[in-house]
Structure 1
Amino acid sequence: MDVADVSGVPLWVTEHLREEGIESLYPPQAAAVEAGVADGDSIVASIPTASGKTLIAQLAMLSAVDRGGKALYIVPLRALASEKREEFAAFEAYDVSVGVATGNYEDSGEWLAGKDVIVATSEKVDSLVRNGAPWVDDLDCVVSDEVHLVDDPNRGPTLEVTIAKLRRINPNLQVVALSATVGNAGEMAGWLDAELVDSSWRPIELKTGVQYGQALHFGDGSQRELRVGSNEKPTEAIVRDTLAEDGSTLVFVNSRRNAEGAAKRLANTSRDGLDDDERRQLADLAEEIRGVSDTETSEDLAACVHKGAAFHHAGCSSDHRSIIEDAFRDRLIKVVAATPTLAAGVNTPSRRVVVRDWRRYSGDAGGMKPLSVLEVHQMMGRAGRPGRDPYGEALLLAKSHDELDELLDRYVWADPEPVESKLAREPSMRTHLLATVASGFADSRAALLEFLDQTLYASQYRHGPDGGEDNLERVVDATLAYLETNDFIDRGETVEATNLGHTVSRLYLDPMSAAEIIDGFEDATTPTVLGLYHLVSRTPDMYELYLRSGDREEYTMLAYERESEFLGSMPSEFEEERFEDWLSAMKTARMLEDWASELDEDEIAERYGVGPGDIRGKVDTAEWLLGAAESLAGELGLESVGAIRNARKRVQHGVGEELIDLAGVRGVGRKRARRLYDAGVETRADLREADKAVVLGALRGRAKTAENVLEAAGHRDPDMDDVTPDATAVPDTGADGESTESTESGGSGGEAALDGQDQSNLGDF
């Protein structure tokens, strides 16, 4: 189908597509147009990665805007929101305004009312609905990218309920659901009252198979020789072979440690495939990575990048991940070893994908468990970029002939599992039932059940397996009882949220987190910082640090030493599971206390065995939970509000109490605040009236930094021309060396900069 034959879209779209080199639509795109995607009809598009899903979404959104409507693009990750914002920015030349929203879950997002296309994570959309964003009523088109993630136990229910609510608000809403791996796409289309576009067409061939011995064994029965040297591992041989054809390789492993180890080994292979210009560019890139954070993770990553390799996992900072993704897309970095989260939609195609580890540890299984077919197919779909690769290959690795047969049967020849709703999980149901009542979607048990009938869960599990007791009613009744017991709802003739329930829903808290915090407040007349950090660390909304070998004894001793600071009674050591959770929360709280005591990031990373991304994630989550605790304390009229606010500000900036005011100045942050304080500039007011020579000295002679800081503080003359640093204010060069200047201003960078407020456990992996 020629692009000029697409009806329903603005006239400029054809011209724009031709400028982008698109003369005709791919077959799946043409099928979507024929199904009415540009005419306002709902569709489920189950088509392979790189087959044009984004253009299908654009045709739907731009036609909706052309009809005078508004479109919403829901993404699973904040990183994807940033990526899509850049991609859609081209439409602004045609007077289509684009906005992005990802963080700050108390914000109603009224500023988005003037935007034609809005990009947001499912969690953000859910919070906007809860907080009554008025423009939600005006939506005409909603695109759900990676819709198979409704199957995810942690994040899927939010996407599912959000889609159901948006369809309830706007009965004529067009829903465009996109995925490369839906085993039951027809069932999904039935749930959404949508037409199904189901295709296996790809613009370039993707061959999937298994490496075993000295050959690649493909699913179509063909083979190709690939010699593995006597001193080589199979992955190294695959990378070497791919480099010989000027291709890149993406290797999926099952843990962060394995990702780092694989990258270090594969760097010795990738360095042989670099030319002189690439070596120079990679040397600069390695220095940029070192500037992100002064940690062992940063140094290890830079060493790999210097040789053309990298690792990618959640322990890396957002800036690290962004740098690696960009360089890999540009084929400057030749090989990336990653955990499976990189397969979740971020645009990182490669010539070859290697699924090295097809099992990972599962606590539920008590050991190693095979990955799902859906997950493996998501990884495999990263192979092959149209216009860059002549083909794509995705390979698993076998150690025996029996394993070769098993992998072909289990993954290569298998279809993805059906997507199944996880809404009935206890945390999901209590969170979303409260939000449904608090936001006015339902005011009775019957109305709740009527609303939930519109979810995927109801269509799949409306009745128990024996056709007797209604499963949905049983779950709803148990959840309503919990919410009533904890004073979040009142149940009489109607079901209504209490003032407390409204607050909990607005704060985007799991009601069990709110109950834990409120119970802890009973002992919170003069709470300590550690006590407050421990309180929020033991809520379901905080992912606690794991106890490593030897940690139990250390943190048991610490727990008894500081027992008086806890908000709530410490469980007995004989209550194994509860006590272990208590100690994990203790470890998390101690890390937050170290951060708020200005311990260097590299020392924290080494002490707790975490990466800079983990530190940032825990800090952001703690700040959010303490902000929620502050609101709850205010709602309950407690005297501890000031202490909670103090603890929140300290963890937000990573500073002692005396630096809170100074660190809050834009561009200052934890280390610059300490240097200024030590030079006698102790408050924002002091900075506003400060001697410029003292400020310049404290900031190590960095004139532009000093100007920006003084301007942010409101100094009457921030200009640093002809100013000489005061030598007495220059700090000694020590552990907080120059390499940290680039990030010490306190922001988490990357996608976190989209709104300035973020909760890393929400909407990110």
Structure 2
Amino acid sequence: WRPVKLVEGVFDRKKHRVVFRDGREEPVESGSDPVLDLVEHNLKRNIQTLVFIHNRKRVEELAQVLAGSTSVRVDQGDLSELVEELESAPTRFERELISELLKRGVGFHHAGLSMISRRVIEEAFRKRILRVVFATPTLAAGINLPARRVLVSIKRYDPGSGRRVNISVSEYKQMAGRAGRPQYDDLGEAVIIDARDLKEGFKYIDSQPEPVIGKVFADRSLRVHVLSTIVSGEARSTSDILELFKYTFSALYSGDMEYLYSKLREAVEVLLEASMISTLRDELKPTILGKITSYTYLDPFTVLLYLKHKPTEYSDFYVLHLVTLTPDFRKSSAYISERVLSHYEELAEVFKYKTPPTSSEFYSYDDWLLSLVYASILYDWINEKTEDEILENYMIGPGDLYNIRDTASWIISALSKIERVLGDMELSRKLHTLSIRVENGVREDAVELVSLKFIGRARARILIEHGIKTLRDLAKTPHRKLLTLPTFGPKVVEEIYAQLRERGYVVEEK
């Protein structure tokens, strides 16, 4: 069911026209770029447009080229509020470029942007300040942002094969479904922009989405869920596990019980070899290691890799590199440029920090090299390189940095809990401290200060540079002195003092 009728069409590149399934045709003026030709065509008709492209760099380039060649009348009143909100974006790139594009009625959206920038762009599009947004498919997943007309690319680059491949029908339908705004439009229009020919385009339009396939058969899911059923007591034998899993969506959909049984037995064997479960009189029992692994929701392979290669002598960089090698740290070479990878390949043999082995039964040399880059990003982050420096040096987006940070912090914190249960309290403490540093992007001397809300990496460093190094120092600092420090306004100072009082400190308020 749709609140607005959907009409789908295909851009015919040979005759430079849009052919809709309902029989309509629209000729499009030919220019330098077919995508921009279609967007300009829509702008002339005052049609708000969402363009889905499967490449971040291309999305940014199209937005900038369009902004340079056209100008859309923008309501300055609504715009000023959004531009002001953008001032709190974490990078100069976002503050300057996105603000300039907003003023021209154009935007771009992808997972590499910060949450602030994405929120501003989404709000500007909803308010119809932006007439065009170029986006990667992340915008189609879970965000309610419809447009009168949606232009959809059905081709994406596949790094595995090194060529452009077609997306699934389901992916196309998800993006096409963004066409049509219930409060404004009688119909929505979705146009495929890069089909090889009309036949290929209409095949997408006329096809049904592929069947939904359950993910529980994936190796990680099986390891995690099998361990969970044993730890919780739901299953006490392999037969119990088989009985539970045969009612999962994956099992019911595939109908291949023999395959299911073989995968489950394989998962049980892995957990036995990893000493996460044991057998006692034919009954499966979780070990202490199995229990804490399940409670942290880590992949058992992450714990195995860590325990096999954990440092004999602790170093921040070694741990960061090891964590980025784990299967729970999902990295992608698509977001690391070839130039950066090549640079680190040259550095690898003379790298100044101790690293895990270059290969293992858990990972390949290529994984090791890619993880070396991710570890270097994290190392710069915890040593308080600015976000602009990190993004420029590694050619990533702020959204990428936050995802890298959040995932690594979670894994390190979980490993700290595992070390505590295993009895290595010193290593557990070091890992706990490192997880806080990764979460906040600070050196070790700022860990205590960033435990307070409203004190992040920048304010913590300002305090330390002014001799305020602990919460006790902070409590003893007069109100008037704090107000003289950059970014410490009355509201922030009051919030900080309130937290100190809650923790039992006597605050110097004069």
TM-score by length of 1: 0.62
- 1:654 positional shift: 1.1
1:335 counterpart letter in structure 2:
V
User: 2:104 and 2:5 mapped to 1: Cα distance?
Assistant: 30
The answer on 1:376 being equivalent to 2:169 is no
The answer to whether the Cα contact below 8 Å between 2:475 and 2:507 also exists between their aligned partners in 1 is no
- Measured against aligned partners, the alpha-carbon deviations of 1:511-557 in whole angstroms (never above 9, x if no partner) come to 11111122233x34x41111111111110111236353344553345
Matched residue, 1:57: none
Matched residue, 2:374: 588
Picking from 304, 307, 318, the partner of 2:115 is 318
What SS class does the counterpart of residue 640 from structure 1 fall into? helix
The answer to whether the Cα contact below 8 Å between 2:8 and 2:190 also exists between their aligned partners in 1 is yes
The answer on 1:330 being equivalent to 2:115 is no
2:62 counterpart letter in structure 1:
A
2:471 counterpart letter in structure 1:
R
Picking from 622, 626, 629, the partner of 2:412 is 626
- 1:679 positional shift: 0.9
- 1:596 positional shift: 0.6
Change (3 A) 1:308 1:678: same
The answer on 1:395 being equivalent to 2:181 is no
User: 1:382 and 1:269 mapped to 2: Cα distance?
Assistant: 26
Matched residue, 1:488: 276
User: 1:342 and 1:448 mapped to 2: Cα distance?
Assistant: 38
What SS class does the counterpart of residue 200 from structure 2 fall into? helix
Picking from 90, 104, 110, the partner of 1:307 is 104
Matched residue, 1:267: 67
1:225 counterpart letter in structure 2:
E
Matched residue, 2:28: 227
User: 1:718 and 1:373 mapped to 2: Cα distance?
Assistant: 64
- 1:235 positional shift: 3.2
The answer to whether the Cα contact below 8 Å between 1:294 and 1:602 also exists between their aligned partners in 2 is yes
- 1:246 positional shift: 4.1
The answer to whether the Cα contact below 8 Å between 2:106 and 2:131 also exists between their aligned partners in 1 is yes
The answer to whether the Cα contact below 8 Å between 1:527 and 1:565 also exists between their aligned partners in 2 is no
- Measured against aligned partners, the alpha-carbon deviations of 1:420-440 in whole angstroms (never above 9, x if no partner) come to 223222122112211222222
1:267 counterpart letter in structure 2:
A
User: 1:311 and 1:295 mapped to 2: Cα distance?
Assistant: 16
User: 1:253 and 1:340 mapped to 2: Cα distance?
Assistant: 7
The answer to whether the Cα contact below 8 Å between 2:114 and 2:399 also exists between their aligned partners in 1 is yes
Matched residue, 1:204: 4
User: 1:718 and 1:240 mapped to 2: Cα distance?
Assistant: 62
1:81-120 matched pairs, under 5 angstroms: none
User: 1:211 and 1:662 mapped to 2: Cα distance?
Assistant: 57
Aligned residues: 500
Matched residue, 1:404: 198
Change (3 A) 1:700 1:342: closer
Matched residue, 1:424: 217
Matched residue, 1:32: none
- Measured against aligned partners, the alpha-carbon deviations of 1:140-166 in whole angstroms (never above 9, x if no partner) come to xxxxxxxxxxxxxxxxxxxxxxxxxxx
User: 1:543 and 1:694 mapped to 2: Cα distance?
Assistant: 45
What SS class does the counterpart of residue 134 from structure 2 fall into? strand
- Measured against aligned partners, the alpha-carbon deviations of 1:296-333 in whole angstroms (never above 9, x if no partner) come to 24432222222112111110112222222222122222
What SS class does the counterpart of residue 368 from structure 1 fall into? strand
User: 1:657 and 1:703 mapped to 2: Cα distance?
Assistant: 28
Change (3 A) 1:453 1:364: farther
Matched residue, 1:519: 308
1:678 counterpart letter in structure 2:
E
The answer to whether the Cα contact below 8 Å between 1:699 and 1:706 also exists between their aligned partners in 2 is no
User: 2:161 and 2:297 mapped to 1: Cα distance?
Assistant: 31
- In structure 1, stretches of 5+ residues that fail to align are 1-50, 52-201, 465-469, 724-765
1:192-591 matched pairs, under 5 angstroms: 202-212=2-12, 213-220=15-22, 222-228=23-29, 230-231=30-31, 233-268=33-68, 271-272=71-72, 274-275=73-74, 278-355=75-152, 357-398=153-194, 403-409=197-203, 411-463=204-256, 470-492=258-280, 493-521=282-310, 523-524=311-312, 526-544=313-331, 546=333, 548-552=337-341, 554-556=343-345, 558-562=347-351, 565-566=354-355, 568-571=356-359, 578-591=364-377
The answer to whether the Cα contact below 8 Å between 1:313 and 1:341 also exists between their aligned partners in 2 is yes
Matched residue, 1:695: 482
1:207 counterpart letter in structure 2:
V
The answer to whether the Cα contact below 8 Å between 1:289 and 1:302 also exists between their aligned partners in 2 is yes
What SS class does the counterpart of residue 291 from structure 1 fall into? coil
The answer to whether the Cα contact below 8 Å between 2:155 and 2:194 also exists between their aligned partners in 1 is no
The answer to whether the Cα contact below 8 Å between 2:442 and 2:457 also exists between their aligned partners in 1 is yes
What SS class does the counterpart of residue 251 from structure 2 fall into? helix
What SS class does the counterpart of residue 364 from structure 2 fall into? helix
Change (3 A) 1:497 1:270: farther
What SS class does the counterpart of residue 216 from structure 1 fall into? strand
- 1:203 positional shift: 3.1
The answer to whether the Cα contact below 8 Å between 2:60 and 2:134 also exists between their aligned partners in 1 is yes
User: 1:627 and 1:717 mapped to 2: Cα distance?
Assistant: 32
The answer to whether the Cα contact below 8 Å between 2:476 and 2:507 also exists between their aligned partners in 1 is no
- Measured against aligned partners, the alpha-carbon deviations of 1:118-171 in whole angstroms (never above 9, x if no partner) come to xxxxxxxxxxxxxxxxxxxxxxxxxxxxxxxxxxxxxxxxxxxxxxxxxxxxxx
User: 1:288 and 1:270 mapped to 2: Cα distance?
Assistant: 25
- 1:215 positional shift: 2.5
Change (3 A) 1:528 1:323: same
User: 2:488 and 2:451 mapped to 1: Cα distance?
Assistant: 21
The answer to whether the Cα contact below 8 Å between 1:461 and 1:472 also exists between their aligned partners in 2 is no
The answer to whether the Cα contact below 8 Å between 1:676 and 1:699 also exists between their aligned partners in 2 is no
User: 1:347 and 1:549 mapped to 2: Cα distance?
Assistant: 34
Which structure ranks higher in relative contact order (CA pairs < 8 Å, sequence separation ≥ 6)? 1
Change (3 A) 1:563 1:294: closer
User: 1:510 and 1:302 mapped to 2: Cα distance?
Assistant: 42
2:292 counterpart letter in structure 1:
T
- In structure 2, stretches of 5+ residues that fail to align are none
The answer to whether the Cα contact below 8 Å between 2:340 and 2:394 also exists between their aligned partners in 1 is no
Change (3 A) 1:635 1:424: same
- Measured against aligned partners, the alpha-carbon deviations of 1:632-679 in whole angstroms (never above 9, x if no partner) come to 111111231122122112212211111111122211111111111111
2:199 counterpart letter in structure 1:
D
Over aligned residue pairs, what C-alpha RMSD do you find?
Answer: 2.4
User: 2:508 and 2:121 mapped to 1: Cα distance?
Assistant: 36
1:368 counterpart letter in structure 2:
R
Identity %: 32
Matched residue, 2:400: 614
Matched residue, 1:680: 467
Change (3 A) 1:550 1:241: closer
User: 1:392 and 1:548 mapped to 2: Cα distance?
Assistant: 37
- 1:283 positional shift: 4.2
2:225 counterpart letter in structure 1:
H
The answer to whether the Cα contact below 8 Å between 1:285 and 1:306 also exists between their aligned partners in 2 is no
Change (3 A) 1:335 1:462: same
The answer to whether the Cα contact below 8 Å between 1:259 and 1:339 also exists between their aligned partners in 2 is yes
User: 2:39 and 2:76 mapped to 1: Cα distance?
Assistant: 18
The answer to whether the Cα contact below 8 Å between 1:282 and 1:308 also exists between their aligned partners in 2 is no
The answer to whether the Cα contact below 8 Å between 2:477 and 2:508 also exists between their aligned partners in 1 is no
- 1:558 positional shift: 4.3
Change (3 A) 1:218 1:658: same
What SS class does the counterpart of residue 150 from structure 2 fall into? strand
